[in-house]
Each structure stands twice: as C-alpha cells, then as structure tokens.
C-alpha cells in the first residue's frame, strides 16, 4: 500500500503550529483533496503509488503550502486572543461585585482625595471596558482588512500587538490604583482575605493574555 499521501500530510502536520482543532480541520480537508486527486488519477489508469505521487505534486511543495496554512493558524490564534480580551471587563465586574459583597461601598475618605487620585481611579475603572471595545473593533477591522487582501500573518501580528498593549494598559491601571491608594490612604489596601484572593483571577487572566499575545508573534510564518 503506497503511503505517499500519508507521508505528505505528516510532513505538513510537522511544519504547522497553532490551535489544534483548526490544524486538524485543515489537514483533514487537505487529505480529502489528495485522496480525491489520487482517485481521479487512478481512474485515469495510473497505479496506486504513481497516482498518489501525482496528487502530491499537484498540491505543491510541503514547505510552501505549509507557510500559507501557518498564516491561517496564526490568524485563528490572533482572533482567539482578541476574543479572550472580552474576559477582562467580566473579571473586573466580578471583582467589584465580590468586593461589594464583602466590603460594601467604599468608606468615605476622611479628607477629600486629590483630583489626580480620582482620575487614576476612573481610568482604572474604564480601562477594562476600553480594552473590550478595542478588542471588538479589532475583530471587525480584521475582517475588513482580510477582505482588502492583507496577509493573515500580518493580521495575526497586529492582533498580538493590540492584545499586548491592552494587557499592559490593564496591568498598569491596577498597579497605578494600588500605588495611588497606598499614598493617599494605605489602610484601604487591607482588604478582607476573600477580596484580596479574588484579585488573583483578573491577574491570572492578564497573564494568560500576555502568553496568548506572545504566541501570536511566534506562530506567524517567517516572511
């Protein structure tokens, strides 16, 4: 039994990295196409192995074809990373609800806090929503750009950059409000353990996003 098609699909698989279900879906389709082509050559009178060789030759060199598929895998990963950014406001809202449950409304300040403190607090509260809006806008812009013929790999890199900047904005917002609170009224940082522990959830999401954003760049095919 000739294994030319098997070997070709394996060599494609070894070259591809990215979301596993997307990868297997692409490979299953490639395999179908190769089987169809080989069947057509067999019915034209070629022997099994020769038919498979012709089918593989028609499909194109694995290195070249893999590069095109790799762009798609990077793009699928980029879109997934942008969708994951939508978790940021959910985590923020969850944290606030949890804090409301354990602490209630923030106590009033003894002396009114300076304007800059309120500005930092407002910026930190809105950062999560801005990030979500940017993610939705990027997904829509990506669809528009792919229609204009922008390469999948370029879009994946853009998605990675947008996500990295978003994560950096969210983390700096968190850091800024904590530092500012420490300066203005350090006692407020002494949160009950369930509230302090809940802080780990948005942090874990941010770290996960940082990893996903970095992978957008790693998965992009070398141009």
Partner 1 sequence: MSVKSAYMKSDALRGHLDALLLATVDGGPLHGYAIIEALQLRSGGVLDLPTGTVYPALRRLETAGLVTSEWSTVGGRRRRTYRLTRAGQRALAAERTAWREFTTAIEGVLGGGPWPA
Residue closer to partner 1 by CB (options 33, 199) is 33
Q: Which of residues 82-141 bind partner 1 (CB under 8 A)?
A: none
Q: Which of residues 26, 85, 88, 131 is near partner 1 by CB under 8 A?
A: 26
User: Is there binding between residue 149 and partner 1 (CB under 8 A)?
Assistant: yes
- C-beta of 188: minimal distance to partner 1 in Å? 47
- 128-157 core/surface letters (b: 16 or more CB in 10 A; e: else): bebbbebbeebbeebeeeeeeeebbbbbbb
Q: Which residues contact 180 (CB under 8 A, 6 or more apart)?
A: 116, 117, 120, 121
C-alpha 206/C-alpha 124 separation (Å) is 14
Residue closer to partner 1 by CB (options 156, 198) is 156
User: Is there binding between residue 7 and partner 1 (CB under 8 A)?
Assistant: no
- C-beta of 218: minimal distance to partner 1 in Å? 19
- Residues engaged in binding partner 1 (CB under 8 A): 25-26, 28-30, 32-33, 36-37, 58-61, 64-65, 68-69, 71-72, 75, 142-143, 146-147, 149, 152
């Amino acid at each position: 039994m000739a294994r030319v098609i098997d070997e070709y699909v394996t060599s494609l698989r070894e070259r591809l990295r990215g979301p596993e279900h997307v990868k297997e879906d692409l490979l299953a389709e490639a395999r179908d196409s190769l089987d169809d082509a080989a069947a057509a050559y067999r019915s034209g009178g070629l022997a099994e192995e020769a038919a498979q060789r012709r089918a593989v030759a028609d499909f194109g060199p694995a290195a070249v074809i893999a590069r095109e598929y790799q762009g798609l895998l990077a793009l699928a990963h980029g879109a997934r990373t942008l969708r994951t950014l939508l978790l940021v406001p959910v985590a923020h809202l969850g944290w606030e609800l949890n804090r409301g449950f354990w602490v209630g409304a923030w106590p009033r300040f003894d002396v009114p806090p300076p304007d800059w403190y309120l500005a930092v607090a407002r910026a930190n509260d809105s950062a999560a929503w801005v990030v979500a809006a940017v993610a939705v806008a990027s997904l829509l812009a990506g669809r528009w750009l792919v229609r204009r013929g922008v390469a999948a790999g370029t879009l994946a890199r853009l998605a990675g950059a947008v996500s990295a900047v978003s994560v950096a904005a969210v983390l700096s917002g968190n850091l800024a409000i904590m530092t500012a609170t420490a300066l203005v009224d350090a006692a407020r940082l002494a949160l009950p353990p369930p509230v302090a522990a809940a802080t780990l959830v948005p942090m874990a999401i941010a770290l996960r996003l940082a990893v996903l954003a970095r992978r957008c760049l790693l998965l992009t095919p070398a141009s």
